[in-house]
Amino acid sequence: MLQAGLLLLAGLLFHSAAKAEYGLNFPEPAAGVAQEIYDIHMLTMGIATVLLIIVFAIVFYSLYFHRKSRGYQADQNFHTSWFGHWSWVIVPVMVLGVDLTIAGKADIVLKKVWDVPKEENIMDVKVTGHQWWWEFDYLDHDIKVESRYIPEEQSGDLYLREVDNPLVLPTGVKIRFLHTSADVLHAFWVPELAVKKDAIPGYITETWAELNREGTFRGQCAELCGTWHSRMPIVVESVSQDKFTAWVDGQKAIKVAAAAEASADKTWSMDELMVKGKTLYETKCAACHQVTGMGLPPAFPALNGSVLTKGPIADHLNIVINGKEGTAMQPWGTLNDLEIAAIVTYERNAWDNKMGDVVQPADVKQAR
Ligand SMILES: [Cu+2]
């Protein structure tokens, strides 16, 4: 029995899968308010530990010195002594004092959590939850980042915790997050920033943070949002303001180049479109329709041999640009003409579809 117990304990301690995280405490905060929340947690743990020691000391003392074999006689007049009288007041007052110490501090910090600073130059980032990726709109910089998880085969030790494009944020700047969702409930949660907020379709809610150190902080969607809920991690890349400015410039350059490429009056070859289309399809569409094009019926239809992918191009373009109201098929009209042309060409020729037709950016422009 004892042997089995020790084996089990050894198994738990040294199990290879358990080596990822040995930290006993919360991760070290990276923002002012998060630090204050952390401090309350430490205060509470401190108080709880002291109380635990006092209570257990009394319990063990009594167990040992007041045991029956010692012939201990219980005090029959405790209630008549000074302490017997007043303990009924003193103890609750002490408990209340402890409670109010914690609650008072918590109240102050909660106000800071919810009172988003009303500052002119606060940086706005709109955070939109999607099934199953995050969209970050830097409203003051006019850039957009789409963030998707990296499949387990490629993410190594960061299983379900790594994304293609992180949320890059500067330190020392107050940042307002505007949370919303494009489909179902999601929730934005990065432990180092502490505050967790639901993303609700049709509503915009706010949280804020001011990062105080550089680093990579990993979070997760914290509201069950469907089959791929576990596959929408959040990665915050906290950098100095200089690095942030450089990053913003880089993003803008990429955006300008992509727009120029898309609007150039160029006729693309089937091969070019298929290559672009495959990548785009696999990042943006494969979560539902699958890399194989077989979908996950009945929720997500197959595109291999489907009515629209093998039907008129106009109908195919229509559902991709406008989506289908009331289903998980959202409008993809924010993609540029080239991207949509590439995806649609890909869908019409991939797998067994082999339609042989090529959709050009000009066709997409016309269909909009
Ligand atoms: Cu989610």
The CATH number that domain 264-367 falls under is 1.10.760.10
Among 357, 280, 343, CA closest to 313: 357
Mean pLDDT for 3-13 is 64
Q: Is the pLDDT of residue 250 over 90?
A: yes
Quote the ligand 1 centre to 148 CA distance (angstroms): 11
Per domain, the residue ranges of the chain are 24-65+86-115, 123-242, 264-367
Q: Give the span between the Cα atoms of 122 and 228, in whole angstroms.
A: 33
Percent of the chain's residues with pLDDT above 70: 94
Question: What integer pLDDT is reported at residue 266 of this predicted model?
Answer: 83
For 201-210, 232-241, 258-267, which range has the lowest pLDDT when averaged over its residues? 258-267
In the structure, how many helices (H) and strands (E) does the chain have?
10, 10
Q: Is the pLDDT of residue 11 over 90?
A: no
β-bridge partners, 206: 178
Question: What integer pLDDT is reported at residue 368 of this predicted model?
Answer: 86
Burial class (CB in 10 A: 0-12, 13-18, 19+), 169: buried
Quote the ligand 1 centre to 210 CA distance (angstroms): 24
**Most confident among 1-15, 20-34, 131-145 (mean pLDDT):** 131-145
Quote the ligand 1 centre to 317 CA distance (angstroms): 27
| Through-space distance between the first and last CA atoms of the chain, rounded to whole angstroms | 73
pLDDT grade, residue 350 (50/70/90)? very high
Quote the ligand 1 centre to 355 CA distance (angstroms): 35
3-state secondary structure of 30: coil
Distance of CA 118 to the CA centre of its chain: 25
CB 277 within 8 A of CB 347: yes
pLDDT grade, residue 18 (50/70/90)? very low
Question: What integer pLDDT is reported at residue 293 of this predicted model?
Answer: 94
Mean pLDDT for 81-107 is 92
Give the CA distances from residue 14 to residues 20, 21, 23, in Å, rounded to whole numbers and listed in that order.
Answer: 11, 12, 15
Quote the ligand 1 centre to 228 CA distance (angstroms): 8
Q: Is the pLDDT of residue 17 over 50?
A: no
Give the CA distances from residue 320 to residues 201, 254, 286, 291, 368, in Å, rounded to whole numbers and listed in that order.
Answer: 21, 24, 14, 17, 10
For 322-340, how does the pLDDT look when each residue is reduced to its tens digit (9 = 90+)?
Answer: 999 888 898 999 888 999 9
Residues present in the chain in total:
368
Instruction: Decide which of 328 and 59 is more confident.
Output: 59
Burial class (CB in 10 A: 0-12, 13-18, 19+), 309: buried
Specify the DSSP class assigned to residue 248.
Answer: H
Among 338, 367, 354, 351, CA closest to 269: 338
Quote the ligand 1 centre to 183 CA distance (angstroms): 9
Quote the ligand 1 centre to 98 CA distance (angstroms): 38
Quote the ligand 1 centre to 222 CA distance (angstroms): 7
Burial class (CB in 10 A: 0-12, 13-18, 19+), 265: exposed
Q: Is the pLDDT of residue 46 over 90?
A: yes
Question: What integer pLDDT is reported at residue 2 of this predicted model?
Answer: 60
- Angle CA 143–153–225, to nearest 5: 55
Quote the ligand 1 centre to 298 CA distance (angstroms): 21
Across the beta sheet with 133-138, the strand order is: 143-147, 133-138, 123-130, 174-181, 205-210
Quote the ligand 1 centre to 161 CA distance (angstroms): 14
Cβ count near 208 (within 10 Å) = 23
Quote the ligand 1 centre to 16 CA distance (angstroms): 29
Strands (E), the chain: 123-130, 133-138, 143-147, 167-170, 174-181, 186-189, 196-199, 205-210, 215-221, 233-239
Quote the ligand 1 centre to 130 CA distance (angstroms): 7
For 84-88, 177-181, 203-207, which range has the lowest pLDDT when averaged over its residues? 84-88
* 123-242 placed in CATH 1.10.10.10: no
Average pLDDT score over the chain: 90
Quote the ligand 1 centre to 198 CA distance (angstroms): 9
Quote the ligand 1 centre to 231 CA distance (angstroms): 8
Relative to beta strand 174-181, strand 167-170 is unpaired
**315 CB contacts (<8 Å, ≥6 apart)?**
308
